[in-house]
Amino acid sequence: KNIVILISGGGSNMATIVKTAQQEKWDQRYGARVAAVISNKPDAGGLAFAREQGIATAALDHKAFASREAFDAELAATIDRHQPALVVLAGFMRILTPGFVAHYAGRLINIHPSLLPAFTGLHTHQRAIDAGCKFAGVTVHQVTAELDVGPILDQAVVPVLPGDTAETLAARVLTQEHVIFPRAVRALVQAL
């Protein structure tokens, strides 16, 4: 059971999943492995980490494609070379076309830094602070054609503290991302 992880930046969520899979021996216990890490940013820091771990990597610069559909078609072809049982969006900052989402229906998950359905979209931490929220958090969900609203798989909550900035809140949320994302992926690969 191959897992393909898509990233756009540092890939701390991807790295946490890779390390958890290694430490918990997912390959032996569930026949599951992270087969590839793919990015839409050739300079994504997470690609270097994946290469160091001996994981196949690929980068597709979305600026090199004439349309969103053309990019998604090439992205799907690249992903499918690894016969994925599960595709994981981990800090992947692209909106995917309905055709791409349909192709991976039921085996495509994402992590979003808010307590969905609150605060879909961007700048979630600043919006939570501006709204006077006392709690914030993170959601792992199935990806559907509509942005950030698929079935919820797992969540974690953190307090919003007096004086919090978007950066301090983001850091607190990120630590919980690293807890629930590996937990959610493990639960899925156990069930595959």
Q: Which helix (H) or strand (E) holds 21?
A: helix 12-23
Closest residue to ligand GRF, based on beta-carbon distance: 91
The verdict on 12 binding ligand GRF (CB under 6 A) reads yes
Nearer to ligand GRF by C-beta: 37 or 189? 37
Exposed/middle/buried for residue 4 (C-beta within 10 Å: 0-12, 13-18, 19+)? buried
Torsions phi, psi of 161, nearest 5?
Answer: -100, 150
Q: Is 90 in the site for ligand GRF (CB under 6 A)?
A: yes
88 is written with which tokens? 């994981």
Stretch that binds ligand GRF, among 9-17, 21-29, 58-66, 146-154 (CB under 6 A): 9-17
Known catalytic membership, residue 62: no
Stretches 12-20, 26-34, 73-81, 156-164: which one binds ligand GRF (CB under 6 A)? 12-20
Binding site for ligand GRF (CB under 6 A): 7, 9-14, 90-91, 111, 113, 170, 174, 177
Tell me the catalytic residues: 112
